[in-house]
Chain A
Amino acid sequence: MMLLYAVVPADATPPEKRGLHGHRLETIRGVLAAVIVEESSEGLRATGDESRAFAEIICDLATTTSMLPIRFPTMLPSRSAVLAELQANEAAWRRRLTELDGLAEVVIHAHEAEADHELSSVTDGSGTTYLLNRATAIHRREASVAEISELVRAWTREIKVLHPQQGVRLACLVADADVPQLRDAVTTWQEARSGRQAVVSGPWPVFSFVGDQETVSR
Chain B
Amino acid sequence: MSDAAERWSDDQVALVDLIDRVIGGGVVITGDVVLGVAGVDLVYLGLRLVLAPAHDVEQSVALGRRSA
Contacts and interface: CB of A to CB of B under 8 A. Distances in A.
A204 to B, nearest CB: 6
Interface in B1-37: 9-10, 13-15, 17-29, 31-37
A86 B21 CA distance: 22
B13 A199 contact: yes
Q: Is the interface of A mostly helix, strand, loop or mixed?
A: mixed
Interface string B24-55: 11111101111111000100000001110101
A199 B22 contact: no
B32 A77 contact: yes
B27 to A, nearest CB: 5
Contact of A43 (B9, B24, B36): B36
B19 A51 contact: yes
A85 B32 CA distance: 13
Given A73-B50, A109-B13, A210-B26, A4 B31 contact: yes
Nearest to A208: B25
Interface residues of B, number: 33
Given A44-B36, A74-B29, A85-B29, A163 B56 contact: yes
Given A45-B37, A51-B51, A68 B32 contact: no
Contacts of B13: 109, 199, 201
Nearest to B52: A71
Interface centre among A74, A85, A204 (most CB of B within 10 A): A74
A50 to B, nearest CB: 10
Interface in A50-82: 51-52, 54-55, 58-59, 68-77
A208 to B, nearest CB: 5
B14 A1 contact: no
B25 A213 contact: yes
A38 B33 CA distance: 14
A44 B33 contact: yes
Given A43-B33, A163-B59, 8 more contacts: A43-B35, A51-B22, A52-B19, A68-B26, A70-B27, A71-B49, A76-B29, A202-B14
17 contacts: A4-B29, A42-B36, A43-B33, A44-B36, A45-B35, A46-B50, A55-B22, A69-B22, A70-B26, A71-B22, A72-B22, A75-B34, A76-B31, A109-B13, A171-B25, A207-B22, A211-B27
